[in-house]
Amino acid sequence: MDILGFKLTPVTWKLVLSLMSVFVIYVLTTLVCRLINRRVEDIKKKYNARKTAYYVAFFMALLVLLFIWIKDLGKLTVILSVLGAGLVVALQELILCVAGWFVIIFTKPFDTGDRVEINGVKGDVIDVKFLQTSLLEIGSWVEEDQSTGRVVHIPNSAALRHPVHNYTRDFEFIWNEIKIVVTFESDWRKAKEIILNHAQEEADRIKKEVDRLIRRMSAHYLIYYEKLTPIVYVKIIGSGVELSLRYLTEAKNRRSTTDEISKKILDDFRREPKINFAYDTFRIVK
């Protein structure tokens, strides 16, 4: 084939046509993404629209390249048969990552914005690509599920090889515990009452949303809760009476609710002369 006086072989022409097609698709995708950034205000919708544009562009490019290089289905079958066995062995991890991406996209074990734990790494999902998922890490050296500021990239194959713990999908609440120890001489019943009263305030605040989510979950899962109200468990330990508060709270507000309830309990305990905190003590005998 002659182009501007240059003779091109069929293979060279297909290569040139492939590069031109990919370049055109890339330019169009870039323009679409810029338009999305200007027109869409909501951050979540903007992110999803951009990802959709990238996925459409990828599959369009793949189809165009197949149309250029493969003339009929028979040749495609032969090529795939020859290359298949070698690719499976050589690119096993890559194939698993792509398979994991399909699982994540179509079965939705998690989505951007969800708080998850995968293979011991906890964080908020900020991006899902073909080969890896990016998390804004929480925990590690920081307590109470607070952000560390690090971005962790996890291969999508982890979604196939390890359990995926989702803190926020379907039910955005988790059970949290606060342990308080008072002395044996303290009025532990009064202390228990104070703790429950403040925990009940939190329960009342989220009750409608919790009930709504429970009803929604029951339509998809064999799941039910008999007791959603706060409870305080009493336990005798070496240094005193341990009062363990167990209550529901938003997964992403665990530390803030712990802080708020703890401050209220401290204020009320200060006004009660018969309630004293217990702590480990040491006695030296000569």
pLDDT tens-place string over residues 31-63: 888 888 888 888 777 777 887 888 788 888 888
Residue 79, both tokens: 């090529």
User: What residue segments make up the domains of the chain, in order of their start?
Assistant: 2-69, 106-166, 173-270
Q: Which stretches of the chain are DSSP H helices?
A: 10-39, 43-69, 73-90, 92-107, 158-161, 188-218, 254-270
Would you call 9 exposed, middle or buried from its count of C-beta atoms within 10 A (0-12, 13-18, 19+)? exposed
Those residues of the chain that have pLDDT short of 50 are none
pLDDT value, residue 277? 92
pLDDT value, residue 6? 54
**Residues pairing with 181 in the sheet:** 242
pLDDT value, residue 146? 85
Nearest to 195 by CA among 156, 137, 234: 234
- 106-166 CATH: 2.30.30.60
In CATH, the architecture of 173-270 is: 2-Layer Sandwich (3.30)
Predicted TM-score (pTM) of this structure: 0.67
pLDDT value, residue 228? 83
pLDDT value, residue 84? 62
pLDDT value, residue 181? 95
